[in-house]
Amino acid sequence: MSTLSLPQDESRQLVPPPGRHPADPPADPPRGEDALPLESLRIVPARHPGRWVATAGVAVLLAMVVSSLVTNDRWEWDVVATYLTWPSVLQGAWATVRLTLVASVVGFALGTVLALMRLSRSPLLRSVSWTYTWVFRSVPLLLQLLLWYNLAYLYPYLSLGIPFGPELLYFDTLSVVDKFWAAILGLGLSQAAYSAEIVRAGILSVDQGQQEAAASLGIPRRRQVSRIILPQAMRSIVPTAVNEVIGLLKGTSIVYVLAYGELFYIVSVIYGRNGRVVPLLVVASIWYLVLTTLITVVQYYVERHYAKGAVRTLPPTPLQKTRWTVLVWASRLSGRPVPDAVPPAYAARARVGVLTRTARTSGGPA
């Protein structure tokens, strides 16, 4: 035999051979330690030395980052702290939130319409939607913003009326399309092009049988879309859509070219005056981080809402997870059984420890 194979007795002692059930009659009469019942054996968890080395390495790197953040004076944390809640910075952050909200609503509302047009049976609607997406995805956002801001040059007056007929309402373009609305037009309309594709992908992801079932039940077309198709499409729309909203939140910083007072423009004005460039950029970064975090929290709950029916049981909320983990650790340490409120998947984590405990106290070599 090869030298690699373990002696028979030793291997059997460590691990029960695969496929062998405790109740099965042993192949040959047990001898020595083999005679011990499986339940009394000590379980040795697998060891992961590589994982420990990697963890230690990353911990050192992390410590270096933190220490440099603290010890390097040039971060000027006192300046950061001062300007983080500076009134004009707060106003800028609020302007950024407003831009993001309105542009998202415009973008996704128009995007949904475009997606439905793209899936329509009318060739004209289909090609108009396609062309829109083509144009607005191709022209850089910066250019679009400047074009919208110069709308008054192309059309000094805007009017509402009957096409090719009399005009009923009359506006001065400059008074209607101010900086805010130029920004909304630029951000919202280009967002619509991307949203259209996201919504379309979501609709296509819903099983064809759903629409067929709705049609066979005679459910009206509009209701088929709003009640049956879109709620199911939302499950694949939401993660990508939130990605887009986060992109938009940061994308609003590009509006500084219109000298509109959003977060980035405000901090750039401040550091232009006092020269504290890096601390003020950090202030803006922190605000973008906070806002993105808020969006991510909202995303979690929206996703959970639309997961209804797609999964047998909803994933637990962070609060539930924390509570269960605490209960599991409590039972691990005390040796008491896990409370019934904890789902089996979590309770199983405790069982390893409990089994080891009982094995240590009651088992062991006789």
Partner 1 sequence: MSTAVSATTHDSTTHDTTAHDTSAHAARPARRATAGLVEIHGVRKSFGTLEVLRDVSLTVPPGSVTVVLGPSGSGKSTLLRAINHLEKVDQGFVSLDGALIGYRRKGSTLRELKEREILAQRTQIGFVFQGFNLFPHLTALENVVEAPVSAQRRRREDVEPEARALLERVGLADKADARPRQLSGGQQQRVAIARALALRPKVLLFDEPTSALDPELVGEVLEVIKDVASTGTTLVVVTHEIAFAREVADTVVFMDDGVVVEQGTPTEVLDHPRQDRTRAFLEKVL
Cα 1 vs. chain centroid, distance in angstroms?
56
- Applying CB under 8 A, does 353 fall inside the site for partner 1? no
Among residues 96, 104, 195, 232, which is the contact residue for partner 1, using CB under 8 A?
232
Q: Choose the stretch contacting partner 1; rule: CB under 8 A; options: 26-34, 50-58, 202-210, 247-255.
A: 202-210
| 223 contributes a contact to partner 1 by CB under 8 A | yes
The three-point CA angle 12-14-20 to 5° equals 50
Region of 169 (left: φ > 0; alpha: ψ -120 to 50; beta: rest) is beta
Q: Which of these segments, 214-222, 296-304, 333-341, 356-364, binds partner 1 (CB under 8 A)?
A: 214-222
Q: Does 227 bind partner 1 (CB under 8 A)?
A: yes
In the complex, least distance from residue 59 CB atom to partner 1, rounded to whole angstroms: 42
**Residues binding partner 1: what is the number (CB under 8 A)?**
24
Report 303-332 residues binding partner 1 (CB under 8 A).
306, 308-312
- Going 8 to 12 to 15 to 17, the CA torsion angle's sign is positive
Tokens in use for 358? Answer: 């009982």
CB of 87 to partner 1, least distance (A): 46
Rank residues 2 and 122 by Cβ distance to partner 1 and give the closer one.
122
Residues in contact with 328: Cβ distance below 8 Å, sequence separation at least 6, in sequence order: 338, 342, 346, 347, 349, 350
Give the residue, chosen from 19, 218, 344, 365, that forms a contact with partner 1 under the rule CB under 8 A. Answer: 218
* Identity of the amino acid at 30: P
Q: Is 203 in the site for partner 1 (CB under 8 A)?
A: no
Choices 34-42, 122-130, 178-186, 211-219 (CB under 8 A): range interacting with partner 1: 211-219
Segment 5 to 64, residues that bind partner 1, using CB under 8 A:
none
Pairing of strands 167-172, 157-161: antiparallel
Type and span of the H or E element at 365: none
Burial of 263 by CB count in 10 Å (0-12 exposed, 13-18 middle, 19+ buried)? buried
Least CB distance to partner 1 at residue 126 (A): 18
Please say whether the beta carbons of 347 and 341 come within 8 A.
Answer: no
Looking at 213, 278, 297, 352, which residue binds partner 1 (CB under 8 A)? 213
Binding site for partner 1 (CB under 8 A): 207, 209-210, 212-221, 223, 227-228, 231-232, 306, 308-312
